[in-house]
Amino acid sequence: ITPASVTIIFLGITIGTIMTMSSSNWLMAWIGLELNMLAILPIISKPKTTRASEATTKYFLTQAIASAMMLLSSTMNAWQTGNWSILELKNKFSTTIMALSLMMKMGAAPIHFWLPEVLQGTTLQTALLITTWQKIAPVTLMYMISNNIQPTILVSAGILSMIIGGLGGINQTQLRKMMAYSSINNLGWTITIMAFFPNMALMNIFTYIIMTTPIFLMMTNMSTKTLQNLSTTWTTSMTMTLSITLLMLSTSGLPPFTGFMPKMLILNELISQKLTTLATLAI
């Protein structure tokens, strides 16, 4: 890949996300997401392997279906209200379809099936891009329409993501799949609190991004792809192995690490909203 094409690809990813985040119109938001998706496809398919091609196809099909659902939802809403504004998504059916399409774009349960498979088929750097930068645009859109989405939908998807993310990661030896399930679990917390306190959801997702980035960078540096690799790196780079361990504990929300802070605040908010059963389930 030439430097010019690399520049075009990364400009596409950056501009697509920024366009979606700054738009007030559904069509512009959709164009931003499409630009972002088309720009990342060459990055996923760069390793000339069958697994990379399969991951690219899975990513493309999933994102294309989610984009089609977005268009359907916004068109139906515009048909009824005569308005393309993101903040004017009033139709209940349109709102539900839009919420599902955004969950599909970010990889939250019950439409999470593509995320572990795609991450497993890509390089660690691309996996970092998919689990961090690619989440920003759909989370921003969900934040903008959070007042109109029925809390039941968000809470159900959130609890399901927490359960699937927690249980799915237990049985894995591949670090990329573990990080994918960690991402699903974290999205569960983000989506659950989005229904009651959207600002806290943003804080949670950005804390996750800040913690995940160094994990992937260190795994890339040490070329570790499985738990077995990670267990043998202790002899060569003790500091880095210790750092990854502590960061993983932080990502899982263990006190007294940073990752515990947003989870504690989310639980506190759920309890103050008289959702004690939900808070217990989250724990």
Give the confidence band of 19 by pLDDT, cuts at 50, 70, 90.
very high
Q: Is the pLDDT of residue 279 over 70?
A: no
Question: Which pLDDT score, from 0 to 100, does residue 274 have?
Answer: 74
Q: Is there a cis peptide before residue 256, judged by omega within 30 degrees of 0?
A: yes
Round to whole Å and give the CA distance between 239 and 101: 41
Round to whole Å and give the CA distance between 240 and 233: 9
Give the confidence band of 2 by pLDDT, cuts at 50, 70, 90.
confident
Q: Which residues, including other chains, have CB under 8 Å from residue 222's CB and lie 6 or more apart?
A: 229, 233, 236, 237, 240, 241
Round to whole Å and give the CA distance between 206 and 50: 33
Inter-residue long-range contacts of 53-60, CB under 8 Å, 24+ positions, other chains counted: 54/117, 54/121, 55/117, 55/118, 55/119, 55/120, 55/121, 55/122, 56/121, 58/114, 58/117, 58/118, 58/121, 59/114, 59/118, 59/130
Query: Per residue in 157-173, pLDDT tens?
Result: 999 999 999 999 888 88
Token pair of 203 as six digits = 């804080």
Q: Is the pLDDT of residue 182 over 80?
A: yes
Q: Is the pLDDT of residue 233 over 90?
A: no
Round to whole Å and give the CA distance between 82 and 254: 48
The SS3 call for residue 14 is: helix
Round to whole Å and give the CA distance between 264 and 283: 10
